[in-house]
Amino acid sequence: MKKAFIYVRVSTEEQAKEGFSIDNQVRVCKDFANNSGYEVYKVFSDDGKSGRTMNRPAFQEMLSMAKDGNVEAVIINKIDRFARNVGDFANVKKQLENLDIKMISVNEGDLSANGGLIANIFASVAQWESDVNGQRTRDAMMQKFREGWQPIPPPIGYRSVGGDRERKTCEPDPYSAPVIKELFNLYSTGNYSIYSLQQWLSTQNLTSRTGKPLGCSTIDNILLNPFYYGLIRWHGEEKMGKQEPLISKSIYDTCQYVLAKHRSFLTRRRTRNFLLRGFIYCSMCGNRYTAEWHKKESLKKRGGTIAYYHCIKNGRNNCPSKYVEMKCLEEQVENLIKSLQFSQEFIDKVIEKTKEKLNITRKDMSTQKKEISNIRLGFETKRSNLEDVLIDGAMDRETYKRKHDEIQSQIDNLDEQARQIENNASLDMGLIEEVLFFTRDIYKTYTEAPEFLKRYYLRFFYEKIYVNDKKICKVTPTPIFEELIKTRLVIVRSNELALLDSNQKPFR
């Protein structure tokens, strides 16, 4: 009896529902083989693989085994199960024919007959159908994005609801959403590393969709994802979506700052940092300044080295800019900061907002503590009942110990959550305190801040600081700083105001 391979493929669950399931294809092909006098040598199955590529594991294995010469035919259900590209189909068909192996389709017949003309026509139809379906899917996903929904499945913390495929929307998951929200709140305090959050998440029984504990890279991606405050992105476009945000934009921005701060400590730590790196530009040629240390024997009392900022084109391209000693330039920047003062109106607004934040924090803390207390009371009741059962002799010691330990573990977790709520309230107060100090005395807050925080303050006010002949000659304010000046919410000394390049135009 002649021998044959059977090849089957399905790419999506929807196809399985429409009669293209693997099991259904195998059954049809085996019936055809038996009725046509073929013995099935082996069945090759690619589950969940696209027909637009030849890089399918079972497909490649079949082509490799075909070279052994053990079969006379390859039986498929339909051409579109085999390939959805005319060029790929023709190439594979030719390879099999060179090995004297027929291609037979249950639905389209012997594909090796008639010089392959009919087979190529069917393959062309399969490719056209694939292209049309692909474009329809892309159009549907873009329309879903335009309507305010992310076309792909939502991240952890949400669950998909309603409809099929492109018609699905999402909503916060009742269990994981509060945990993700707390994750952002904890990290925004700046007192938790990704690793410590991973340990905390292990106590919350939050796992990935595969059931594994969340890794550090997954947590990092969660904190970087703007979806949680409402932003969705698709093919280079972005907009605010219709999903319910789990966090505010301000919490997200704070987390991005903390992430950047931690990365500067962990992955970009230098033995000698330069505060103004990335801020200073040459007014002569417009290029950025760099910074470096120089050894000088005459400076033994100062460690034998001195730091300079200078234009990267210094001495080249006819740029005559001069080297500026680090201390001199950083003192000039301090004077810029010294010239700034928030108006009383702005300070009053900040105080108003901080009071609102404090009230919300207190209210949330009270609600959370009450919920934890109620849950804890329930576990204490279970523990008491369990002890009564042991005393009555209705439970063996081993079972009692196991159940008692489980309940005690739950109570301990609740106690830890209560402590974290207290800590978060105190950390929120610390953040509020920092904001208030900054608004009331910008210069003092800046000079007393560590270097990474100074850079954060500089980024709030300035995009670029231009230097000419060792002196700051102009500065480009950030859009928010420029708006604060226009609305007189920030007061700038007149001599420093003259330095502002309010139109943000390049100059020489």
Q: What are phi and psi of 492, to 5 degrees?
A: -120, 130
Instruction: Reduce the DSSP state of residue 413 to 3 states and report it.
Output: helix
pLDDT at res. 431 = 58
Host H or E run for residue 432: helix 397-440
Instruction: Reduce the DSSP state of residue 145 to 3 states and report it.
Output: helix
Instruction: Reduce the DSSP state of residue 467 to 3 states and report it.
Output: strand
CA distances from 326 to 142, 199, 284, 339, 381 (A): 52, 42, 19, 20, 67
Q: Give the N- to C-terminal CA distance of the chain in Å, as an integer.
A: 88
Instruction: Determine the Cα–Cα distance for residues 81 and 395; give it in Å rounded to an integer.
Output: 60
Burial 421-435 (b: 16+ CB within 10 A, else e): beebbebbeeebeeb
Instruction: Determine the Cα–Cα distance for residues 476 and 502; give it in Å rounded to an integer.
Output: 7
As given in the structure block, the two tokens for residue 261 are 């701060």
Q: What is the pLDDT of residues 258-313, one digit of tens each?
A: 887 665 444 333 444 688 888 899 988 888 898 888 877 666 665 678 888 988 88
Beta strands at 471-477 and 462-468: parallel, antiparallel or unpaired: antiparallel
pLDDT at res. 270 = 40
Per the CB < 8 A criterion, the answer to whether 314 and 283 are in contact is no
Q: Is the pTM of this model over 0.85?
A: no
* 11 a catalytic residue: yes
Instruction: Determine the Cα–Cα distance for residues 64 and 204; give it in Å rounded to an integer.
Output: 49
pLDDT at res. 360 = 76
Instruction: Determine the Cα–Cα distance for residues 492 and 338; give it in Å rounded to an integer.
Output: 9
As given in the structure block, the two tokens for residue 340 are 């700034």
Taking 50 as the pLDDT cut, the residues of the chain under it are: 14, 16, 115, 117, 264-272, 427, 503-508
Instruction: Determine the Cα–Cα distance for residues 158 and 171; give it in Å rounded to an integer.
Output: 5
